[in-house]
Amino acid sequence: MPRFAANLSMLWQDLDPYERFEAAAAAGFPHVEMLFPHELDADRLASTLDDLDLAMVVFDPAAGDWAGGERGLLALPGREDEFVATLREAIKLATRIGTSKLNALVGIPPATVSSDQAHHTAMANLNRAAPLVREAGITLLVEAINNVDIPGYWASTVATAADLVQTVNDSSVRLQLDQYHAAMAGEDALDCLRTFLPLVAHVQIADVPGRHEPGTGSQPIGDFLRELDRLGYDGFVGLEYRPLVDTASSLEWMRTMDLRRN
């Protein structure tokens, strides 16, 4: 089965950020992921990962004014230099802590920006970013996020995000397939996986509705994980869900769900 990475932006939210690393290690996770580690002290972050023998497999570069409602810079005209600056800072941190993948959030373009303008901006930014991440030995990810959770997010379907990746046509730019967001957008995550697997470099899961742990909703996540295995996916699966009760009990699905191949 694919290797699981604990998402420390959603799991153990009752703990402070550094305690979450300790909790993940204690729960047996050697791999973690999170949204914005640049908000932490870089020295303490690096030493925490080293001391606990943890690897952070992916994180998101700064995504604009998050508190003000921004959700990424990739498709925002006029913010190109800011996007590159945040990417350079993310590459610097990723190189220091050994992270090999960065997820660049596409963003919510202003109402005055047309879809064509957003697409053009995203492509220009990806073409500018590709040699930067390639030189650093890092893969840049593009992710679809549904418009129920984030209204106006430009790449709201897996097909839209995949089109960006296919059009840039660079092995350093790949797709992050979030099964939850696909389902919330009305897509079949299994179909998306089968269609776009050659582009997929990272996967995340959560059940629908509620974005809780597998087994709390209607999604066939066991089938999805078995299909990842059958198709030969060798990357990580991020547990990016909000525990229904608490993180400890939410991890029981990993023990009880039948993840064997059909």
Closest alpha carbon to 131 in 171, 92, 175, 71: 171
**Helix and strand element counts for the chain (H, E):** 10, 8
The catalytic residues are 143, 240
Structure tokens at 92: 């610097």
> Measured between alpha carbons, how far is 256 from 38 in angstroms, rounded to an integer?
36
Cα(66)–Cα(6) distance, integer angstroms: 22
Say which residue the tokens 């389902």 belong to.
183
Give the C-alpha separation, 33 to 239, whole Å.
9
SS3 25: helix
**In this structure, what DSSP letter does residue 2 have?**
P
List Cα–Cα distances, 118 to 62, 77, 124, 241, in angstroms. 19, 7, 10, 29
